Amino acid sequence: MKVILILMMALFLGLSSVSAQEFTKSATIKPELVQQGEQKEWCPVCGMSIGMFYKTSHTSKVHNHQERQYCSMRCLAVDMQEHKIDVNDIKVVDSSTQKLIEAKSAFYVVGSDVAGTMSKVSKLAFADKEAAEDFNMEHGGKVVDFTVALKMAQDSLASDVAMVESKKSKQIYPMGQKIFEKNCKKEIDINAYLQINELKAGLKNKKLCGELKESELQPLSLYMWEVKRFGDVKNSDDVIKVTKDEKCPVCGMFVYKYPKWAAQIFYKESHFSFDGVKDMMKYYFEHKDGISKIL
Protein backbone atom coordinates (compact mmCIF):
# COMPACT_ATOMS: atom_id res chain seq x y z
CA MET A 1 0.00 0.00 0.00
CA LYS A 2 2.79 2.45 0.91
CA VAL A 3 4.62 1.72 -2.34
CA ILE A 4 1.46 2.45 -4.32
CA LEU A 5 0.95 5.71 -2.44
CA ILE A 6 4.47 6.88 -3.19
CA LEU A 7 4.20 6.00 -6.89
CA MET A 8 0.87 7.75 -7.28
CA MET A 9 2.07 10.86 -5.47
CA ALA A 10 5.11 10.96 -7.72
CA LEU A 11 2.80 11.14 -10.75
CA PHE A 12 0.80 13.95 -9.20
CA LEU A 13 3.65 16.05 -7.87
CA GLY A 14 5.68 16.03 -11.05
CA LEU A 15 8.95 14.47 -9.99
CA SER A 16 11.94 14.77 -12.31
CA SER A 17 12.18 12.72 -15.48
CA VAL A 18 14.84 10.07 -16.03
CA SER A 19 16.89 12.47 -18.14
CA ALA A 20 17.07 14.89 -15.22
CA GLN A 21 17.70 12.47 -12.37
CA GLU A 22 20.92 14.21 -11.36
CA PHE A 23 18.97 17.39 -10.57
CA THR A 24 16.57 17.47 -7.63
CA LYS A 25 14.01 20.15 -6.90
CA SER A 26 14.15 19.27 -3.19
CA ALA A 27 16.18 21.34 -0.74
CA THR A 28 19.64 19.91 -0.09
CA ILE A 29 20.33 22.50 2.62
CA LYS A 30 18.04 23.92 5.31
CA PRO A 31 15.33 25.74 3.34
CA GLU A 32 14.44 29.37 3.96
CA LEU A 33 10.80 29.31 5.10
CA VAL A 34 9.27 32.77 5.42
CA GLN A 35 5.69 32.04 6.51
CA GLN A 36 4.67 32.22 10.15
CA GLY A 37 3.16 29.42 12.20
CA GLU A 38 3.14 25.64 12.01
CA GLN A 39 1.86 25.77 8.42
CA LYS A 40 5.05 27.39 7.08
CA GLU A 41 6.31 24.09 5.63
CA TRP A 42 3.52 23.91 3.04
CA CYS A 43 2.17 25.93 0.13
CA PRO A 44 -0.99 27.88 1.07
CA VAL A 45 -2.50 27.34 -2.39
CA CYS A 46 -2.06 23.60 -3.00
CA GLY A 47 -0.66 22.29 0.30
CA MET A 48 2.47 20.74 -1.19
CA SER A 49 5.72 20.56 0.75
CA ILE A 50 7.93 23.58 0.08
CA GLY A 51 11.01 21.60 1.06
CA MET A 52 10.26 18.91 -1.51
CA PHE A 53 9.86 21.51 -4.27
CA TYR A 54 12.17 24.13 -2.82
CA LYS A 55 14.05 25.03 -6.00
CA THR A 56 10.82 26.15 -7.68
CA SER A 57 9.61 28.02 -4.58
CA HIS A 58 8.53 31.67 -4.71
CA THR A 59 7.49 34.08 -1.96
CA SER A 60 5.24 37.13 -1.92
CA LYS A 61 3.65 39.62 0.44
CA VAL A 62 -0.10 40.10 0.61
CA HIS A 63 -2.20 42.46 2.72
CA ASN A 64 -0.57 43.76 5.91
CA HIS A 65 2.79 42.56 4.49
CA GLN A 66 1.95 38.96 5.37
CA GLU A 67 4.51 36.68 3.73
CA ARG A 68 3.39 33.67 1.72
CA GLN A 69 5.54 30.96 0.20
CA TYR A 70 4.59 28.74 -2.72
CA CYS A 71 5.86 25.48 -4.14
CA SER A 72 5.84 26.93 -7.65
CA MET A 73 5.36 29.93 -9.90
CA ARG A 74 2.04 28.38 -10.88
CA CYS A 75 0.71 28.71 -7.32
CA LEU A 76 2.06 32.27 -7.18
CA ALA A 77 0.09 33.01 -10.36
CA VAL A 78 -3.04 31.55 -8.75
CA ASP A 79 -2.56 33.74 -5.66
CA MET A 80 -2.03 36.83 -7.82
CA GLN A 81 -5.59 36.39 -9.07
CA GLU A 82 -6.90 36.68 -5.51
CA HIS A 83 -4.47 39.12 -3.89
CA LYS A 84 -2.84 42.36 -4.95
CA ILE A 85 0.80 41.30 -5.05
CA ASP A 86 3.56 43.78 -5.88
CA VAL A 87 6.08 42.12 -8.21
CA ASN A 88 8.80 44.01 -6.34
CA ASP A 89 7.97 41.91 -3.27
CA ILE A 90 8.31 38.56 -5.05
CA LYS A 91 11.34 36.41 -4.32
CA VAL A 92 12.45 33.08 -5.75
CA VAL A 93 14.92 30.40 -4.72
CA ASP A 94 18.20 30.50 -6.65
CA SER A 95 18.60 26.93 -7.90
CA SER A 96 22.37 27.18 -7.50
CA THR A 97 22.77 28.63 -4.00
CA GLN A 98 19.29 27.72 -2.69
CA LYS A 99 18.99 31.23 -1.27
CA LEU A 100 16.04 33.54 -1.79
CA ILE A 101 16.71 36.28 -4.34
CA GLU A 102 14.70 39.08 -5.95
CA ALA A 103 12.60 37.46 -8.68
CA LYS A 104 12.66 40.51 -10.96
CA SER A 105 16.45 40.24 -11.30
CA ALA A 106 16.57 36.45 -11.72
CA PHE A 107 17.29 34.51 -14.90
CA TYR A 108 14.79 31.72 -15.50
CA VAL A 109 15.36 28.51 -17.43
CA VAL A 110 11.93 27.50 -18.72
CA GLY A 111 11.00 24.26 -20.46
CA SER A 112 14.04 22.21 -19.44
CA ASP A 113 14.00 18.42 -19.05
CA VAL A 114 13.23 18.92 -15.36
CA ALA A 115 9.51 18.29 -14.82
CA GLY A 116 7.35 21.26 -13.93
CA THR A 117 5.91 21.77 -10.47
CA MET A 118 2.10 22.00 -10.74
CA SER A 119 2.71 22.87 -14.39
CA LYS A 120 3.57 21.20 -17.68
CA VAL A 121 6.61 23.48 -18.10
CA SER A 122 9.35 23.85 -15.48
CA LYS A 123 10.63 27.26 -14.42
CA LEU A 124 13.92 27.35 -12.49
CA ALA A 125 15.56 30.60 -11.39
CA PHE A 126 19.20 31.61 -11.09
CA ALA A 127 20.82 34.75 -9.72
CA ASP A 128 23.73 34.43 -12.13
CA LYS A 129 23.12 34.51 -15.89
CA GLU A 130 26.10 32.26 -16.59
CA ALA A 131 24.73 29.64 -14.18
CA ALA A 132 21.37 29.78 -15.98
CA GLU A 133 23.06 29.37 -19.35
CA ASP A 134 25.12 26.43 -18.10
CA PHE A 135 21.96 24.75 -16.81
CA ASN A 136 20.24 25.51 -20.11
CA MET A 137 23.07 23.87 -22.05
CA GLU A 138 22.79 20.69 -19.98
CA HIS A 139 19.02 20.46 -19.52
CA GLY A 140 17.54 22.33 -22.48
CA GLY A 141 14.81 24.95 -22.45
CA LYS A 142 15.55 28.64 -22.80
CA VAL A 143 16.72 31.50 -20.59
CA VAL A 144 14.21 34.31 -19.99
CA ASP A 145 13.63 37.05 -17.43
CA PHE A 146 11.03 37.07 -14.65
CA THR A 147 8.45 39.02 -16.63
CA VAL A 148 8.46 36.48 -19.46
CA ALA A 149 8.42 33.50 -17.07
CA LEU A 150 5.49 34.92 -15.10
CA LYS A 151 3.50 35.65 -18.27
CA MET A 152 4.10 32.06 -19.40
CA ALA A 153 2.76 30.83 -16.05
CA GLN A 154 -0.28 33.09 -16.28
CA ASP A 155 -1.01 32.19 -19.90
CA SER A 156 -0.85 28.45 -19.20
CA LEU A 157 -2.71 28.63 -15.89
CA ALA A 158 -6.03 27.33 -17.20
CA SER A 159 -4.46 24.27 -18.86
CA ASP A 160 -2.17 23.64 -15.88
CA VAL A 161 -5.12 23.80 -13.48
CA ALA A 162 -7.09 21.42 -15.70
CA MET A 163 -4.16 18.98 -15.77
CA VAL A 164 -3.82 19.01 -11.99
CA GLU A 165 -7.57 18.76 -11.41
CA SER A 166 -7.70 15.71 -13.67
CA LYS A 167 -4.97 13.97 -11.66
CA LYS A 168 -6.65 14.87 -8.41
CA SER A 169 -10.04 13.56 -9.51
CA LYS A 170 -8.67 10.29 -10.86
CA GLN A 171 -5.93 9.54 -8.32
CA ILE A 172 -5.52 11.87 -5.37
CA TYR A 173 -9.09 12.32 -4.11
CA PRO A 174 -9.80 8.55 -4.08
CA MET A 175 -6.49 7.98 -2.30
CA GLY A 176 -7.27 10.70 0.24
CA GLN A 177 -10.74 9.27 0.86
CA LYS A 178 -9.29 5.84 1.64
CA ILE A 179 -6.80 7.37 4.09
CA PHE A 180 -9.57 9.44 5.70
CA GLU A 181 -11.93 6.50 6.15
CA LYS A 182 -9.18 4.30 7.54
CA ASN A 183 -7.39 6.73 9.86
CA CYS A 184 -9.64 9.67 10.78
CA LYS A 185 -11.81 8.31 13.57
CA LYS A 186 -12.59 11.55 15.42
CA GLU A 187 -14.68 14.51 14.30
CA ILE A 188 -12.56 17.17 12.56
CA ASP A 189 -13.86 20.71 12.04
CA ILE A 190 -12.35 21.45 8.63
CA ASN A 191 -13.89 24.93 8.54
CA ALA A 192 -11.82 25.90 11.57
CA TYR A 193 -8.87 26.25 9.19
CA LEU A 194 -8.48 29.17 6.81
CA GLN A 195 -6.05 27.55 4.35
CA ILE A 196 -5.09 24.07 3.24
CA ASN A 197 -1.61 24.38 4.75
CA GLU A 198 -3.18 25.17 8.14
CA LEU A 199 -5.32 22.04 7.89
CA LYS A 200 -2.29 19.99 6.93
CA ALA A 201 -0.30 21.35 9.88
CA GLY A 202 -3.18 20.44 12.19
CA LEU A 203 -3.40 16.92 10.79
CA LYS A 204 0.32 16.39 11.29
CA ASN A 205 1.07 18.15 14.55
CA LYS A 206 -2.15 17.25 16.38
CA LYS A 207 -2.13 13.74 14.90
CA LEU A 208 -5.83 14.12 14.10
CA CYS A 209 -5.64 11.04 11.90
CA GLY A 210 -2.67 9.36 13.54
CA GLU A 211 0.94 9.28 12.39
CA LEU A 212 1.06 9.96 8.66
CA LYS A 213 3.86 10.46 6.16
CA GLU A 214 3.97 13.34 3.68
CA SER A 215 2.85 10.97 0.91
CA GLU A 216 -0.30 10.31 2.97
CA LEU A 217 -0.82 13.81 4.37
CA GLN A 218 -1.02 15.48 0.96
CA PRO A 219 -3.83 13.39 -0.59
CA LEU A 220 -5.67 13.39 2.74
CA SER A 221 -5.44 17.18 3.01
CA LEU A 222 -6.59 17.69 -0.57
CA TYR A 223 -9.53 15.33 -0.15
CA MET A 224 -10.64 16.96 3.10
CA TRP A 225 -10.14 20.54 1.87
CA GLU A 226 -11.54 20.24 -1.64
CA VAL A 227 -14.08 17.40 -1.34
CA LYS A 228 -15.03 16.41 2.20
CA ARG A 229 -15.58 20.01 3.27
CA PHE A 230 -18.65 20.14 1.01
CA GLY A 231 -19.85 16.58 1.48
CA ASP A 232 -22.67 17.47 3.85
CA VAL A 233 -24.39 19.83 1.43
CA LYS A 234 -23.71 18.09 -1.89
CA ASN A 235 -26.40 15.79 -3.25
CA SER A 236 -24.91 13.19 -5.56
CA ASP A 237 -28.34 12.47 -7.12
CA ASP A 238 -28.40 15.89 -8.79
CA VAL A 239 -26.86 16.50 -12.20
CA ILE A 240 -24.86 19.60 -13.10
CA LYS A 241 -26.14 21.36 -16.21
CA VAL A 242 -24.16 24.28 -17.62
CA THR A 243 -24.99 26.49 -20.59
CA LYS A 244 -22.28 27.78 -22.94
CA ASP A 245 -22.65 31.38 -21.78
CA GLU A 246 -22.06 30.70 -18.07
CA LYS A 247 -18.79 32.06 -16.71
CA CYS A 248 -17.18 31.36 -13.35
CA PRO A 249 -17.80 34.47 -11.18
CA VAL A 250 -14.38 34.06 -9.58
CA CYS A 251 -11.99 33.59 -12.53
CA GLY A 252 -14.18 34.47 -15.53
CA MET A 253 -13.58 31.17 -17.36
CA PHE A 254 -16.35 29.55 -19.43
CA VAL A 255 -17.50 26.67 -17.22
CA TYR A 256 -18.71 24.39 -20.03
CA LYS A 257 -15.10 23.90 -21.12
CA TYR A 258 -14.39 22.03 -17.85
CA PRO A 259 -17.34 19.62 -17.48
CA LYS A 260 -15.46 17.17 -15.25
CA TRP A 261 -14.68 19.82 -12.65
CA ALA A 262 -17.78 22.01 -12.87
CA ALA A 263 -19.54 22.96 -9.64
CA GLN A 264 -22.63 25.02 -8.83
CA ILE A 265 -24.20 26.97 -5.98
CA PHE A 266 -27.96 27.49 -6.01
CA TYR A 267 -29.93 30.20 -4.24
CA LYS A 268 -33.71 30.62 -4.14
CA GLU A 269 -33.96 32.51 -7.43
CA SER A 270 -30.51 32.17 -9.01
CA HIS A 271 -27.41 30.02 -9.31
CA PHE A 272 -23.71 30.36 -10.13
CA SER A 273 -21.48 27.91 -11.98
CA PHE A 274 -17.76 27.42 -11.37
CA ASP A 275 -14.98 25.78 -13.36
CA GLY A 276 -13.67 23.97 -10.29
CA VAL A 277 -14.24 23.30 -6.60
CA LYS A 278 -11.51 25.71 -5.55
CA ASP A 279 -13.25 28.74 -7.09
CA MET A 280 -16.56 27.54 -5.72
CA MET A 281 -15.06 27.43 -2.22
CA LYS A 282 -13.77 31.00 -2.52
CA TYR A 283 -17.25 32.17 -3.49
CA TYR A 284 -19.01 29.99 -0.91
CA PHE A 285 -17.28 31.49 2.12
CA GLU A 286 -18.20 35.03 1.07
CA HIS A 287 -21.79 34.28 0.03
CA LYS A 288 -23.09 31.61 2.42
CA ASP A 289 -26.47 33.16 3.16
CA GLY A 290 -29.45 31.81 1.28
CA ILE A 291 -27.80 28.78 -0.31
CA SER A 292 -30.33 26.09 -1.15
CA LYS A 293 -28.10 23.56 -2.88
CA ILE A 294 -24.49 22.91 -3.89
CA LEU A 295 -23.45 20.58 -6.71
- Return d(Cα 125, Cα 40) in angstroms, integer: 21
Contacts from 232-237 at CB under 8 Å and sequence distance 24+?
233/291, 233/293, 233/294, 234/294, 234/295, 235/293, 235/295
Rounded to two decimals, the pTM is 0.74
- Return d(Cα 89, Cα 129) in angstroms, integer: 21
Query: pLDDT tens track of the chain, all 295 residues?
Result: 544 444 455 444 444 333 444 899 999 999 999 999 999 999 999 999 999 999 999 999 987 788 999 999 999 999 998 888 999 999 999 999 999 999 999 999 999 999 999 999 999 999 999 999 999 999 999 999 999 999 999 999 999 999 999 999 999 999 999 999 999 988 899 988 889 999 999 999 999 999 999 999 999 999 999 999 877 444 444 678 888 888 999 988 888 877 767 889 988 888 999 988 778 888 887 887 888 878 8
